[in-house]
Structure 1
Amino acid sequence: MNTLALLTVALLFGGMVLYSFGFAAALFTTLPPEQAGSTLRRVFPHFYLFVMVTSAVGAALLWASNPLSAYLLAAISITTLPTRQVLMPAINAATDAGNKQRFKRLHGLSVVVTLAHIALAAVVLARFV
């Protein structure tokens, strides 16, 4: 069970880092801005779903053996829901309305949330050592 938990948390951490720093950046360097933005808009709900499910599975796998790590993963899962259902649509609405200031503020918040999730997943990974 511990090995499966470790692999699940590693998948979560790696997936979040790759998506945030690799995939999203690559889109904007290889596609025109409008197409890159449109593609990200379609993919982000799947990314957030991946984060919610993977962190919840990790939490369930660790609940009995490592309650603190399980709690941290559960926190990632729970806080991803409003990010996906509230923050992401607000970012899209700001983009659609051409409200650049609101977009920057909301996008900045989403970046902070994602970086916090990556940091929490890193803490959980480090606790396996």
Structure 2
Amino acid sequence: MEATALLLTAALFGGMVLYSAGFAGFLFKVLPPNTAGASLRRAFPVFYLLVIATSLAAAVMVFSSDLMSALALAAIAVTTVPTRQLLMPAINDASDAGNKRRFGILHGVSVLITLAHIALAGWVLIRFL
């Protein structure tokens, strides 16, 4: 089970880094802004579901051998739910309303949450050493 937890955590970490640092930026480089934004709106709910499912599965797999890692992974899953259900719609609403200040603040919060999730997943990976 520990090997499965390691693989799931590595996939979680790599997926979050690639998606947030690579995919989003890539879309805005190769697509017109409206198309890139619309594409991200469709992709982010799926991304968040994958983060929730992967972190939860990894937490279950590592629970019996490392409670701290399990709690960190569970925290990622739990905090991703309001990010997906509340914060993401608020960001979209601010964007739709043309409220750049509110969008900037909310988007900044979402970036900080994602960075915290990446850091937690990285910390769990290091604990496997």
What TM-score, normalized to structure 2?
0.99
- State yes or no: 1:83 paired with 2:86: no
Unpaired runs of at least 5, structure 1: none
Cα distance between partner residues in 2 of 1:120 and 1:14 = 12
* CA shift digits 1:44-74 (9 cap, x unpaired): 0000000000000000001111000000000
Cα distance between partner residues in 2 of 1:2 and 1:71 = 15
Q: Who is 2:16 aligned against?
A: 16
AA paired with 2:40?
Answer: L
SS at match of 1:61: helix
Q: Who is 1:98 aligned against?
A: 98
Q: Who is 1:26 aligned against?
A: 26
Q: For 1:28-43, what aligned pairs fall within 5 Å after superposition?
A: 28-43=28-43
- State yes or no: 1:124 paired with 2:121: no
AA paired with 1:70?
Answer: A
* CA shift digits 1:95-115 (9 cap, x unpaired): 110100000000000000000
AA paired with 1:109?
Answer: V
- State yes or no: 1:114 paired with 2:123: no
SS at match of 1:98: coil
Percent identical among aligned pairs is 62
Cα distance between partner residues in 1 of 2:118 and 2:4 = 19
Cα distance between partner residues in 2 of 1:96 and 1:5 = 39
Cα distance between partner residues in 2 of 1:65 and 1:25 = 37
Cα distance between partner residues in 2 of 1:94 and 1:42 = 17
Aligned-residue offset at 1:2: 1.1
Q: Who is 1:56 aligned against?
A: 56
Q: Who is 1:4 aligned against?
A: 4
Query: What is the total number of aligned residue pairs between the two structures?
Result: 129
What TM-score, normalized to structure 1?
0.99
SS at match of 2:84: helix
| RMSD between superposed Cα atoms in Å | 0.4
AA paired with 2:76?
Answer: I
Unpaired runs of at least 5, structure 2: none
SS at match of 2:36: helix
